[in-house]
């Protein structure tokens, strides 16, 4: 769950939920947590109508009523929940630091962590990791460094987590000077498009300011097939500005080809979401990968289901494992 802050040439500030656009809840445990977030004003229901747009016929179908599935969004952005967690009592948050190495110190029964540049980050009794690339060759492709975790330490878990298949995505952030009047819904999937999978009206979510006034912001998601093709061509490293500009032009062109009178945007920028969606779940009924002897929990949507709810449930399971070792009731 992320939000991107962008500044236009005239200084106007735009914000986009360029990751997960919303989330739904079906699990009772997660529903209780989300209810607490809602009571604190961290999330709110997005009363949006969704549909499907058929690229070949140029028509909307399968209109979904508002009450069909309750959609939640963070307020004022999808990152509000993570921000709140960082402010909890006892939490010390470090930003802009990538873990480059995790070493198990046997005589201290603890983990030694170092940053990507080799800086010592300290020793820790328990570690919770949420990066699906923690032991994957993809980490090396992105950073040029070995993965942080050496799976020879945990051979029994390596098959489960070493190289999780993913479905990548490009997100296109768009701002228009006026609302898209030919689009009758706030979100829609695409059928028969080689380029686009979803479109979401970001500015229709609760708690979002419209800047400039009367403008409308949209976020488009590419198909995984399109994203894979582009990444295969340009490589796994961070895309250049020119490469992202080309992606933006191609996705906008497809959006404008819908016949929905899509004008030229006043702002446009593409973002690579390289590990957007796990293609499989790795941990079965446990909902997390846990090694009690080395006090390591690996959590995330890749352990359960590719969704915010899946990630929350996996984190709760990991927390319960640690609290059990400390003889504390989970309270989750």
Integer-rounded Cα Rg, in Å, for the chain is: 21
The tens digit of pLDDT for each residue in 147-204 reads 899 888 887 776 666 667 788 999 999 999 999 999 999 999 999 999 999 999 999 9
- Residue 36 belongs to what H/E stretch? helix 28-39
Nearest CA among 71, 314, 319, 113 for reference residue 201: 71
CATH of domain 4-82+166-278: 3.90.660.10
Please state, in angstroms and rounded to a whole number, the distance separating the CA atoms of residues 43 and 321: 27
Report whether pLDDT(43) > 70.
yes
pLDDT greater than 90 at residue 237: no
Predicted TM-score of the model (pTM): 0.91
Question: What pLDDT score was predicted for residue 154?
Answer: 80
* For range 136-144, the mean pLDDT: 81
Distance CA 308, CA 25 (A): 9
What value does the mean pLDDT take over residues 24-39? Answer: 96
327 confidence band (pLDDT: 50, 70, 90): confident
32-47 in b/e form (b: 16+ CB < 10 A) is ebbeebeeeebbbebe
Question: What does the pLDDT look like over 110-125, one tens digit per residue?
Answer: 999 999 999 999 999 9
Predicted local distance difference test score (pLDDT) of residue 318: 95
Confidence of residue 330 (pLDDT cuts 50, 70, 90): low
What is the chain's mean pLDDT, rounded? Answer: 91
The rounded distance, in Å, linking the Cα atoms of 60 and 204 is 19
Is the pLDDT assigned to residue 220 strictly greater than 70? Answer: yes
Cite the residue boundaries of each domain of the chain with CATH code 3.50.50.60: 94-164+280-325
Strands 72-74 and 120-124: unpaired
Q: In the chain, which residues fall in CATH 3.90.660.10?
A: 4-82+166-278
DSSP state for residue 304 in the 8-state scheme: S
Instruction: Determine the average pLDDT of the residues in 92-101.
Output: 93
Give the class (CATH, top level) of 94-164+280-325. alpha beta
Region 23-49 average pLDDT: 96
Q: What is the pLDDT of residue 187?
A: 96
According to the model, what pLDDT value does residue 162 have? Answer: 64
What are the two backbone dihedrals, phi and then psi, of residue 56, each rounded to the nearest 5 degrees? -75, -45
């Amino acid at each position: 769950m992320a939000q991107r802050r962008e500044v236009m040439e005239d200084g106007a500030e735009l914000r986009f939920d360029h990751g997960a656009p919303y989330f739904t809840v079906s699990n009772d445990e997660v529903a209780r947590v989300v209810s607490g977030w809602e009571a604190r004003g961290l999330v709110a229901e997005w009363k949006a109508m969704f549909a499907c747009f058929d690229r070949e016929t140029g028509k909307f179908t399968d209109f979904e009523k508002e009450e069909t599935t309750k959609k939640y969004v963070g307020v004022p952005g999808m990152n509000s929940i993570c921000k709140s967690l960082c402010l909890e009592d006892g939490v010390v948050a470090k930003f802009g630091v990538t873990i480059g190495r995790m070493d198990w110190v046997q005589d201290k029964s603890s983990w030694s962590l170092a940053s990507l540049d080799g800086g010592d980050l300290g020793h820790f009794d328990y570690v919770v990791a949420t990066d699906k690339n923690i032991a994957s060759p993809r980490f090396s492709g992105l950073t040029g460094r070995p993965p942080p975790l050496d799976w020879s330490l945990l051979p029994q878990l390596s098959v489960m987590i070493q190289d999780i298949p993913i479905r990548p995505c490009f997100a296109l952030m768009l701002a228009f000077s006026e609302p898209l009047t030919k689009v009758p819904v706030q979100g829609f999937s695409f059928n028969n498009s080689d380029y686009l999978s979803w479109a979401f009206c970001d500015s229709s979510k609760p708690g979002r300011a419209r800047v400039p006034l009367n403008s409308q912001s949209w976020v488009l998601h590419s198909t995984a097939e399109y994203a894979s093709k582009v990444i295969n061509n340009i490589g796994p490293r961070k895309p250049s500005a020119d490469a992202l500009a080309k992606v933006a032009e191609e996705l906008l062109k497809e959006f404008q080809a819908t016949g929905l009178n899509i004008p030229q945007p006043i702002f446009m920028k593409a973002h690579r979401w390289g590990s957007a969606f796990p293609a499989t779940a790795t941990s079965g009924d446990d909902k997390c990968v846990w090694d009690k002897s080395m006090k390591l929990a690996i959590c995330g949507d890749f352990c359960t289901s590719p969704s915010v709810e899946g990630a929350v449930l996996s984190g709760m399971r990991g927390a319960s494992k640690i609290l059990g070792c400390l003889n504390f009731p989970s309270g989750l």
